[in-house]
Chains A and B, each alone.
Chain A
Amino acid sequence: EVQLVESGGGLVQPGGSLSLSCVASGFTFSTYAMRWVRQAPGKGLEWVSTVSGSGGSTSYAGSVKGRFTISRDNSKNTLYLQMNSLRAEDTAVYYCAKGLPGGETGHWGQGTLVTVSS
């Protein structure tokens, strides 16, 4: 069974940094692209970033480019999101998600809440 468990969320001041982690199990982690998707309170889903299975290719939404960095450690089955220069509008539940070979998002974690506020 695929399991994705996020951690690292919390309260941070505007301009601060936070690092999220997602531990994966139940599948061959290095074979699949992984991504972060966020959901602001009461709003819809917003794609944040994707990393390829090898970690050699990354992509970002325009709203986070230059501030967020996605990475992975295939030896630890772990996905990361380093978030810098955080803004109030980054407040959201951040979901770790597994990509499928066809391109779609196939599995979701339970999410971790990030609140940016003074």
Chain B
Amino acid sequence: QPVLTQSSSASASLGSSVKVTCTLSSGHSSNIIAWHQQQPGKAPRYLMKVEGSGGYNKGSGVPDRFSGSRSGADRYLTISNLQSEDEADYYCETWDSDTRVFGGGTKLTVL
């Protein structure tokens, strides 16, 4: 089954940009992944799907500041013009036949 690896933390300044990375395990580098945001004390929220081609499709109401991309086995979530409300945990998700996995999450701090 696939494994997703994320850095445990990231930080960036208000108004700047940040790229959060999710790495797929060997043999799964073409998998589609999804990104979810979880603000403190809240339920997760679906942000977008990143295709194996690198194209992405966002969920309803997700600001234009959020975008996705890929390079090899890496999938990226880029947040531009960081806002205080972007401070949250970000999880990637993928699936394979009957199995579904989440990355360990990246805690984003907005400085």
* A interface list, Cβ under 8 A from B: 35, 37, 44-47, 50, 59, 95, 100, 102-111
CB-defined interface of B51-87 with A at 8 Å, one 1/0 digit per residue? 0000001010000000000000000000000000000
Interface of B, secondary structure class, is: strand
Flag if A111 contacts B95 (CB, 8 Å).
no
Chain B contact patch, size range:
20 to 34
Flag if A45 contacts B100 (CB, 8 Å).
no
The smallest beta-carbon distance between B74 and chain A, in angstroms, is 18
The docked-state distance in angstroms from the alpha carbon of A47 to that of B92 is 12
Would you call B34 an interface residue if the criterion is a C-beta within 8 Å of the partner chain's C-beta atoms?
Answer: yes
The docked-state distance in angstroms from the alpha carbon of A59 to that of B97 is 9
The smallest beta-carbon distance between B90 and chain A, in angstroms, is 11
Flag if A59 contacts B105 (CB, 8 Å).
no
CB-defined interface of B81-111 with A at 8 Å, one 1/0 digit per residue? 0000000010101010011111111000000
The docked-state distance in angstroms from the alpha carbon of A46 to that of B100 is 9
Flag if A45 contacts B102 (CB, 8 Å).
yes
The docked-state distance in angstroms from the alpha carbon of A106 to that of B57 is 11
CB-defined interface of B22-52 with A at 8 Å, one 1/0 digit per residue? 0000000000111010100001111001000
Flag if A106 contacts B99 (CB, 8 Å).
no
The docked-state distance in angstroms from the alpha carbon of A46 to that of B44 is 12
